Amino acid sequence: MLLELFPLVAKGYLQGKRKAEFEAKREVNRKKIAAERAAIKRTGKLLIRDLTLRDGQQSLFATRVPQKEIEKVLPLYRDANFYAMEVWGGAIPDSVMRYLNEDPWHRLESIKEIIGDVSHLTALSRGRNLFGYSPYPESVIEGFNKNAVKSGLGIMRIFDCLNDVKNMETTIKYMKEAGGIADCAVCYTVDPKFTKKQRWNALLSGKKLPKKIFDVDYFVDKAKQMQALGADMITVKDMAGLIPPSLSGNIIRRLKQELNVPVDFHTHCTPGYGLGAVLMAMVNGVDIVDTNILNFAGGPAAPAFEIIQIFADKLGLDTGVNLDAVVKINKELKGIRERIAEFDSYKMFPLEFDITADYLPNDIDALFEKAIVLAKADKETELLEVCNAIDKFFNFPAPNEEVKAAEIPGGMYTNMLAQLKALGLADLLPTVLEKVPEVRVAAGCPPLVTPSSQIIGVQAVNYVLDVNSGKAPYTNVNNQFFNLVKGEYGETPIAIDPEYREKICGQREATAFDVSKYKSPENPVLEELGGVKLAENEKEMLLLELFPTVAGPFLKNRKAEVYYAKIEAEEAEKQRVISEKKAAFAAIPVEEKQEIVIKGLYNMHGTSDHELQEIKLPEAESKLDIKTKEMIAKEKPKSRLVG
């Protein structure tokens, strides 16, 4: 009735009234939910590693969250009390320099300054390779880990794309010596998926295809080797989200039986296995799980913390996380996501859900209960259906069926498709997908994780392009594939045929990377910027060592900013002095001014230029000052790098 009589006024009034009623109901719910949660009998613990500020933003927003946005949520994170926060490593150091013109070391140090010792700050690195492809000398590995811990890092998650534990040994050593925690990751991957035609061809040619390689025993054995090297914890790291729930449960159960260090589980949601796989890990005794807060979760990212917390409550597990702080963080994250919308790969916001004040609908709550029953009974098919329904309720992206069918990482799939599209040959993608297993097995069957997945993907595309243009396969071999087959990146899961290695590299025997031939990048003196060195301390030199093509321009830009800021400060000081003298001269009575001028004229022959400047009426701005300003405006580089 009110809307009909007073449409404009009534609409705003009624909306305000409904909002007030909703918030009032939420306040009542908040008290009830808090009481219910306090009454839960907790029989175990589940630690949470929050990935939001590193893996979360990298998976969804191409690592484009700037420092000013990070700082908005840090005080809230300090209150949240997560066991650990992944905030560094991965693509962070490269991206913040390349796209945001920010110092990676400053990011880590500024986060530590706010978080303190409430949560362990964690990072991701590739063992001896750190952030590159080839191994670094021990001096670089030691310097990096030492400075990372000094800057606030608590846990370094160490992985190798070949699961070659020898490539992890030095990082484990130096991380522990620096006082940090060595978290060693076993990279989950799938076996090659061959077509019937490929199996028949292999049978007829007498070349046997490999039997199952990546079974439970493989992952457990790798974890035990890492523990023997000094790992403080073991992570099952499923970068592609390809581990199905039953296998997740089996691996975690075996690790808990055979290891004496904590076990963490990490996965993603791209093909739709993520939530079910995490739940199976939980019911099988995992110590730590990796999650993102709601607005940075789902799709190519990890499962949402809020959903895992609901499961933890129903399982009687104590996460120790302050949920009031999480609600506040999630609200800030929504604003951040809106402000970086141009980098949002989905532009699909999850359901607005306050875990401290919103009850789940009865049918959805029943799905959580059913999922737990199915997980305990190891009924994978039904479990996935229920978990996908839960994800759908929270408005997360649907499973990527193409990635699921291809059984390759989402990033590898999209990169191969982009490579073909750029050449106008997207129709060749099915052929490329068919060739991936062949190329992978020939190269020693490396796990499909970064960067080996990209190496195999690029070479599979090259293979098909060669054949499509009438050339022999492997006419075009990318450098990284060459080095992989040669043996420079480490030992592959299965041996490479010497004849194949000779075909690709011109040699039959594997050759490890010769670290003694490593050359540090040049660190020139920048004469044009006051004679400072490009890298003035160990941390800056490490950036040059690890990211030479990005850190070089970044550091030079920083030095230029300092140099021109100094010139501008000197110019400002000069103008201040002149202004003061102008004001002092202006305040002198006219008679005294005339007397000073006359006196100056009589003594001009013995007066210095400096003294003359003090008594003459100065111009509004000297020509020298204008020239200096023009020079600064012309030569001063842009304050931001072009990404």
Instruction: Give the residue with greater pLDDT, 625 vs 335.
Output: 335
- Cβ neighbours of residue 113 closer than 8 Å, sequence gap 6 or more: 152
What CATH number has the domain spanning 408-517?
1.10.472.90
Please name every residue paired with 183 in a beta bridge, in sequence order, or none if there are none: 157, 233
Q: SS3 for 94?
A: helix
* pLDDT-derived band at 612, boundaries 50, 70, 90: very low
- DSSP labels, 132-182: SSSPPPHHHHHHHHHHHHHTT--EEEE--TT--GGGTHHHHHHHHHTT-EE
Mean pLDDT calculated for residue range 594-599? 77
- Farthest CA pair distance, the chain: 114
pLDDT in tens, 107-140: 999 999 999 999 999 999 999 999 888 889 999 9
Q: SS3 for 518?
A: coil
Instruction: Flag whether pLDDT at 620 surpasses 50.
Output: no
Query: Helix 362-376 crosses helix 305-315 at what angle (to 10 degrees)?
Result: 70
Rounded distance, CA 165 to CA 142, Å?
18
pLDDT in tens, 189-199: 999 887 777 77
Asked if 15-403 and 408-517 have one fold, the answer is no
Of 172-186, 515-529, 601-615, the range with the highest mean pLDDT is 172-186
Instruction: Flag whether pLDDT at 604 surpasses 80.
Output: no
Q: Which amino acid is at 563?
A: Y
User: In this predicted structure, what is the pLDDT of residue 639?
Assistant: 43
Mean pLDDT calculated for residue range 82-91? 96
User: In this predicted structure, what is the pLDDT of residue 634?
Assistant: 55
Rounded distance, CA 544 to CA 550, Å?
8
Q: For 577, what's the count of Cα atoms within 13 Å in the CB-facing half-sphere?
A: 7
CA dist 43 → 269, 387, 624 (Å): 28, 24, 78
Total residues belonging to the chain = 643
User: In this predicted structure, what is the pLDDT of residue 408?
Assistant: 87
Q: For 349, what's the count of Cα atoms within 13 Å in the CB-facing half-sphere?
A: 12
CA dist 375 → 3, 199, 383, 422, 610 (Å): 51, 35, 6, 44, 87
Instruction: Flag whether pLDDT at 610 surpasses 50.
Output: no
Mean pLDDT calculated for residue range 469-482? 95
* pLDDT-derived band at 7, boundaries 50, 70, 90: confident
User: In this predicted structure, what is the pLDDT of residue 204?
Assistant: 74
* pLDDT-derived band at 6, boundaries 50, 70, 90: low
Instruction: Flag whether pLDDT at 244 surpasses 60.
Output: yes
Rounded distance, CA 10 to CA 265, Å?
53
Q: For 583, what's the count of Cα atoms within 13 Å in the CB-facing half-sphere?
A: 6
- Average pLDDT of the chain is 90
* pLDDT-derived band at 628, boundaries 50, 70, 90: very low
| Per-domain boundaries in the chain | 15-403, 408-517, 536-598
Rounded distance, CA 131 to CA 546, Å?
7
User: In this predicted structure, what is the pLDDT of residue 630?
Assistant: 57
* pLDDT-derived band at 420, boundaries 50, 70, 90: very high
CA dist 120 → 23, 39, 176, 186 (Å): 35, 29, 15, 21
* pLDDT-derived band at 643, boundaries 50, 70, 90: very low
Poorest-pLDDT segment among 231-235, 431-435, 628-632: 628-632
* pLDDT-derived band at 209, boundaries 50, 70, 90: confident
Mean pLDDT calculated for residue range 62-68? 94
Topology of the domain comprising 15-403:
TIM Barrel (3.20.20)
Please name every residue paired with 532 in a beta bridge, in sequence order, or none if there are none: 526
* pLDDT-derived band at 1, boundaries 50, 70, 90: low
Select from 119, 114, 109 the least CA-distant residue to 85: 119
Q: SS3 for 264?
A: strand
Instruction: Flag whether pLDDT at 613 surpasses 60.
Output: no
